[in-house]
Amino acid sequence: MTILRTEGLGKRFGGLDAVKDVSLAVEEGSITAIIGPNGAGKSTFFNLLAGYYTPTSGRVTFEGEDITGMAPHRTVKRGIARTFQTTHLFEEATVLENVLAGRVVRSRSTVFDAVLHTPRNRREEKENLAVAMAELEFAGIAGFAHEPAAEVPQEVQKRTAVALALATEPRLVLLDEPAAGITEEETAGFADLIRAIAARGITVCLVEHKMSMIMSLADHILVLERGRMLAEGTPAQIRSDERVIEAYLGRDEDAEEAAVAEAAGAGPTGAGSSTTGPTAPAQEGAR
């Protein structure tokens, strides 16, 4: 079943088409990766889905309903949660408190319930704590629950952002470069976490530059270039797509990682041959 559909989706900033004419169908429970060089429109596309930006053209349908231009506080209630490219955490707060913030979306208590500490409020607080702790366990970071978010390792912060998104009880999560800035070793663990999210029946869309991760994780890949759809298909189709190879992946499969890192930094002109080799430093953490 299709859970999310975009039709001719576009966003113009002044004279620039950040996203143009993107039509995509996302299957429920699947993992869809959106790839493309820096500035290709990946984050803008997510912002259009979650309602942070209003499209200048086209439509977004979620679970059969038109949500085009619907504000973020409403899309999250409907079940779309996103994480941001640069992790947005409340730094002074603990890891647990950050994840609890995701529960606000599902809260039925009123201000009066909170002030008067009514039974409903107490029940909800207990439930919120249980859900938040369960998501921390799921994300493998329960041991950090009471640490200030600013003081835990980068990977734990990234996992906290995912736990926060999951605490909103989403049907679809949009993960914008969830593994950026973490080590290769940690990336494998992160891929397992993303697989586990999909195994819960939660649909995953992710933007990522780490090609080995994408190719092993994704059921479906959308390639964006200058806001437009360059290609779409299974990892095998994308890997053998001439246009993608030319513009993005490079010819040598072993050099994929390097070519992508290069493309991410320098735009599509940088791809093609492997001059840097697979040991070139990744640029994910450079932002």
Where do contacts with ligand ADP occur on this chain (CB under 6 A)?
13, 16, 18, 36, 38-44
What does the DSSP assignment read for 239-255? HT-HHHIIIII-S-GGG
38 binds, among ligand ADP, Mg ion, none (CB under 5 to 8 A by kind): ligand ADP
Q: Which is nearer to ligand ADP, 36 or 102 (CB)?
A: 36
CB of 17 to Mg ion, least distance (A): 16
DSSP letter for 282, please. P
CB of 274 to ligand ADP, least distance (A): 23
CB of 263 to Mg ion, least distance (A): 13
Under DSSP, is residue 279 helix (H, G, I), strand (E, B) or coil? coil
Beta bridge partners of 35: 223
Q: Which is nearer to Mg ion, 148 or 268 (CB)?
A: 268
CB of 55 to ligand ADP, least distance (A): 13
Q: Which is nearer to ligand ADP, 42 or 159 (CB)?
A: 42
Cβ-in-10-Å burial (0-12, 13-18, 19+) of 107 comes to middle
Under DSSP, is residue 237 helix (H, G, I), strand (E, B) or coil? helix
Contact 207, 34 (CB under 8 A): yes
Q: Which residues bind Mg ion (CB under 5 A)?
A: 42-43, 85
Contact 140, 99 (CB under 8 A): no
Measure the CA–CA gap between 38 and 227, rounded to whole angstroms: 11
CB of 130 to Mg ion, least distance (A): 34
Q: Which is nearer to Mg ion, 174 or 259 (CB)?
A: 174
Q: Which is nearer to ligand ADP, 38 or 283 (CB)?
A: 38
